A and B are shown apart, each in its own frame.
Chain A
């Protein structure tokens, strides 16, 4: 390593904890990549193949039975549902009617009588488990599933969780952080129950969580972190205040989170981890879409539109200045504070920018193939995915590695209506996953069905 010249007055050089850990991981990862490079192309193709059958088997098993070691997730069962159901949906599969029926019923039993979902039957409602439950039900889709969601009660739960800081508490008497903001706002948007009372102050709170590094922290003052950056960015987009963030420094921080391994790290000088494939990779996709929507910096960002299928954002709606449920009651984009770059804001609502750019593909700002390589060669195991070599697989990593893989595969597309070109997909084209709505991390088809189902306001 350059820069380690020892001098006569300095003690013998020794690596720091950060350096040591990084080198150990690099050795493991490059060993895998070396192996990959030295085998014949046919074997390489096999290594890059998404082991669909193995993953489905692992996922279905989890849905049906979990061992005693899962007791520590006893307050997170809607999460386990979501991690599994979303993964199955990404793989283009679905569960059989019986299982679907059981899932809907079980999740419904996690509902609190006053609204919101808890970690299991009889547990207090919690924003994260509410997010997971709602996302699970939307992923299952269909009238029975969507109809089981009590929007009125959920709305009242979200209102109760609203905090004076503008953020949200995770549960009654619970912690306030950027995750809570995201889970609340994402649920509200997916169910079309977002309103001024929920939105008020959220932008201020998240803004106060953007750090000097450019990324977003969990609470004001804490370190910039991938998970919270995704949550903060997605929330700001959902409430139409994303331009209040310093997007330039956020982008800069974000792209530097991709390591030599190809995967993403959660924080500066920490190790890459498969789950950040989504938190960071997904955030990068969001940023890209914002750039695309803004064109060469000459139109203001009507952010929500470029993330959903054009099916629901036709010219008429845009010209009238109204949009589909999601952006409807959000503050006007023109009101964003401070960043005047000489842009004409006046007629932004009448520019159908996403339509004109629909079929133009653009390079992703991160290395999509490198990320896919890390996911497929380092995180993928025979049935499920893991953080990194040496760690065990789990449903959480399976969900977020797959979500990140999907985001990476579609990262060249301006929107998900046009199927990705073969070059976008590392490995066989059959590796292609279902497209997602990267804001809520729900498979697009199911998300759109829910939007239609919940199109009537409360």
Chain B
């Protein structure tokens, strides 16, 4: 748009605006945080204020809001007014999608832009699903973790559909970058909300395999560990009984010797009534320096190890150790309830 700046004709010189008197900004006498607007910015906003106050919902007003938005995409009042104009004119919203797309590359983290996009897509309905999913994909090429884009994508899936290829898309992203937590979050979103997958109960098994594989590939990746734990969010008994969980902990502990995440997951297992076998006990005890006392309670030992190998969270592990008693009580009680 830089070249356009030189070509811009001041509004005061455009014949189609000759009947309008711009309304100056009313900051008062000695405002704080005053901004030194450029002449062009100030002029544009002066005319915007005029049509806004007159509630003029015309084509020229629509064009004017576009200019204002280019100057400041954060002006939610102008965006909202634009929506009113689009409705009044019964405008072709496909053009509106184009408008947003042109702004998106330089404003990809702008709340108003994404909210507007959602509004347009909702009006267009299910026919827009494909295009919306493509739009977010384009954003992900440059920033695979763009928060707004992910929220928009989720909204599209839930409201307009298009679930078919979503899990496969997550696979793709995770192949590119297994540390992409947004993609992991999206996986969770799909397995819990995809109307055709049967919910988390039906998908848990294959997802556990997927998570375990990811963990073994990159044991230092927090995302996969949290995902694994998350699969058992409201089913502690299944969590405790799934051998694969304790097995992956054991594998990582013995091959990598130090894995905070493996120890942490093991701690969770124990807090929920898991009974460790001798192999696990040995693996954990091997991590404790000889000078230290083992505790008969493996959970306590794990906390002690974590205090040493994860010094940033030493106070947290100390607090976990102190809370163990009530933690385990509650965990075991939950088990019994089920």
The reply on A174 being an interface residue by CB < 8 A is yes
The reply on A62 being an interface residue by CB < 8 A is yes
| C-alpha spacing A76/B222, complex, angstroms | 36
> Are B28 and A175 in touch, CB under 8 angstroms?
no
CB-defined A-B contacts under 8 Å, sample of 10: A66-B33, A66-B35, A106-B27, A119-B77, A122-B52, A212-B230, A218-B151, A222-B154, A252-B264, A365-B316
> Are A67 and B74 in touch, CB under 8 angstroms?
no
Q: List residues of chain B with CB within 8 A of the CB of A84.
A: 33
| Majority DSSP secondary structure for residues of B touching A | helix
- With contacts A74-B72, A269-B223 taken as known, whether A366 is within 8 angstroms of B80 at the C-beta atoms is no
- With contacts A109-B26, A121-B27, A122-B26 taken as known, whether A75 is within 8 angstroms of B154 at the C-beta atoms is no
The reply on B94 being an interface residue by CB < 8 A is no
1/0 per residue A75-89: CB within 8 Å of B?
Answer: 111001100100000
A:42-92 near B, CB below 8 Å: 62-68, 70-77, 80-81, 84
The reply on A171 being an interface residue by CB < 8 A is yes
| C-alpha spacing A65/B37, complex, angstroms | 11
Nearest 4 interchain pairs by C-beta:
A212-B230, A18-B179, A16-B177, A268-B181
Contact residue among B33, B80, B256 (Cβ-Cβ distance under 8 Å from A124) = B80
B:80-117 near A, CB below 8 Å: 80, 83, 111, 114-115
Contact residue among B25, B52, B313, B314 (Cβ-Cβ distance under 8 Å from A120) = B25
The reply on B126 being an interface residue by CB < 8 A is no
Which stretch from B5-13, B185-193, B236-244 is at the chain A interface? Answer: B185-193
Contact residue among B26, B178, B233 (Cβ-Cβ distance under 8 Å from A121) = B26
- Using a CB–CB cutoff of 8 Å, the interface residues on chain B facing chain A are 25-38, 41, 45, 49, 52, 71-77, 80, 83, 111, 114-115, 118-119, 144-145, 147, 150-151, 154-155, 158, 176-182, 185, 188-189, 193, 217-223, 226-227, 229-231, 233, 256, 264, 311-316, 318-319, 322-323, 326-327, 329-330
A73 to chain B, nearest CB (A): 7
A:105-144 near B, CB below 8 Å: 105-106, 109, 118-124, 126
Q: List residues of chain B with CB within 8 A of the CB of A121.
A: 25-28
- Using a CB–CB cutoff of 8 Å, the interface residues on chain A facing chain B are 1-3, 16-19, 62-68, 70-77, 80-81, 84, 98-99, 102-103, 105-106, 109, 118-124, 126, 170-175, 211-214, 218-219, 221-225, 248, 251-253, 255-256, 258-260, 267-270, 291, 296-297, 341, 363-367, 370
| C-alpha spacing A341/B332, complex, angstroms | 12
Contact residue among B38, B218, B233, B318 (Cβ-Cβ distance under 8 Å from A212) = B233
B223 to chain A, nearest CB (A): 6
| C-alpha spacing A401/B181, complex, angstroms | 25
B179 to chain A, nearest CB (A): 4
A45 to chain B, nearest CB (A): 24
Q: List residues of chain B with CB within 8 A of the CB of A219.
A: 151, 154-155
> Are A103 and B25 in touch, CB under 8 angstroms?
no
| C-alpha spacing A243/B111, complex, angstroms | 31
| C-alpha spacing A99/B30, complex, angstroms | 9
- With contacts A74-B37, A365-B319 taken as known, whether A16 is within 8 angstroms of B75 at the C-beta atoms is no
> Are A221 and B72 in touch, CB under 8 angstroms?
no
B143 to chain A, nearest CB (A): 9
Q: List residues of chain B with CB within 8 A of the CB of A170.
A: 76, 111
> Are A222 and B147 in touch, CB under 8 angstroms?
yes
B312 to chain A, nearest CB (A): 5
Closest chain B residue to A3, Cβ basis: B219
| C-alpha spacing A358/B208, complex, angstroms | 46
Q: List residues of chain A with CB within 8 A of the CB of B75.
A: 74-75, 119, 123
Contact residue among A98, A222, A270 (Cβ-Cβ distance under 8 Å from B151) = A222
| C-alpha spacing A221/B158, complex, angstroms | 10
> Are A68 and B37 in touch, CB under 8 angstroms?
yes
Q: List residues of chain A with CB within 8 A of the CB of B231.
A: 212
Closest chain A residue to B229, Cβ basis: A212
Q: List residues of chain B with CB within 8 A of the CB of A256.
A: 222, 313
> Are A106 and B31 in touch, CB under 8 angstroms?
yes
> Are A269 and B35 in touch, CB under 8 angstroms?
no
Contact residue among B145, B219, B326 (Cβ-Cβ distance under 8 Å from A267) = B145
B307 to chain A, nearest CB (A): 12
B23 to chain A, nearest CB (A): 8
| C-alpha spacing A173/B28, complex, angstroms | 28
Closest chain A residue to B232, Cβ basis: A212
- With contacts A175-B111, A269-B181, A365-B316 taken as known, whether A218 is within 8 angstroms of B147 at the C-beta atoms is yes
> Are A270 and B227 in touch, CB under 8 angstroms?
no
Among B49, B73, B219, B330, the one with the most A-chain Cβ atoms within 10 Å of its Cβ is B330
Among B29, B151, B193, B233, the one with the most A-chain Cβ atoms within 10 Å of its Cβ is B151
> Are B222 and A102 in touch, CB under 8 angstroms?
no
A134 to chain B, nearest CB (A): 16
Q: List residues of chain A with CB within 8 A of the CB of B74.
A: 72-76, 119
Q: List residues of chain A with CB within 8 A of the CB of B115.
A: 174-175
Contact residue among B77, B111, B311, B330 (Cβ-Cβ distance under 8 Å from A123) = B77
